[in-house]
Amino acid sequence: MDRGIYAATSAGILADAKVEILNNNLANVNTPGFKRQYITTEAEEFERTLASRLADAAPFAKGDAERTPGVESIRAVTDFSMGSIRETSRDLDVALAVPDHFFVVNTADGPRYTRAGNFSLTGEGTLVTQSGEPLAGDITISGGAPKITRGGIVQVDGETVGQLQVVQIPDTSQLVQQGGNLFKLADGAPTPSAIDGTSVVPRSLELSNVSAIGSMVELIAAQRGFEMYTKTAQTIDGMNEQSIRELGRKTQ
Q: How far apart are alpha carbons 165 and 195 in whole angstroms?
A: 8
pLDDT recorded at residue 70: 55
pLDDT recorded at residue 112: 97
* 195: enclosing H helix or E strand: strand 193-195
Give the model's confidence band at 149: pLDDT under 50 very low, under 70 low, under 90 confident, else very high.
Answer: very high
Instruction: Using a pLDDT cut of 90, give the percent of the chain over it.
Output: 58
pLDDT recorded at residue 1: 47
Q: How far apart are alpha carbons 192 and 177 in whole angstroms?
A: 16
Tell me: the pLDDT tens digits for 112-143? 999 999 999 999 999 999 999 999 988 999 88
Beta bridge partners of 42: 73
Q: Quote the DSSP letter at residue 89.
A: -
pLDDT recorded at residue 68: 54
**Total residues belonging to the chain:** 252
What's the mean pLDDT when you consider all of the chain? 84
Q: Which residue has the higher pLDDT, 239 or 5?
A: 239
- In sign, the C-alpha dihedral spanning 204, 209, 211, 216 is negative
Q: How far apart are alpha carbons 166 and 161 in whole angstroms?
A: 16
DSSP per-residue letters across 98-161: STTEEEEEEETTEEEEE---B-EE-TT-BEE-TTSPBBTT--B--SS-EEE-TBSEEEETTEEE
- Return the amino acid letter for 159: E
Among 213, 216, 206, smallest CA distance to 31 is for 206
This prediction's pTM: 0.79
The alpha carbon torsion through 99, 74, 13, 69 (nearest 10 deg) reads: 140
Give the model's confidence band at 64: pLDDT under 50 very low, under 70 low, under 90 confident, else very high.
Answer: low
Among 127, 114, 107, smallest CA distance to 78 is for 114
The answer to whether the beta carbons of residues 117 and 32 sit under 8 Å apart is yes
Tell me: the pLDDT tens digits for 169-194? 999 999 999 988 999 999 999 999 99
Asked if residue 67 has pLDDT above 60, the reply is no
What would you report as the CA-atom Rg of the chain, rounded to the nearest whole angstrom? 26
Give the model's confidence band at 224: pLDDT under 50 very low, under 70 low, under 90 confident, else very high.
Answer: confident
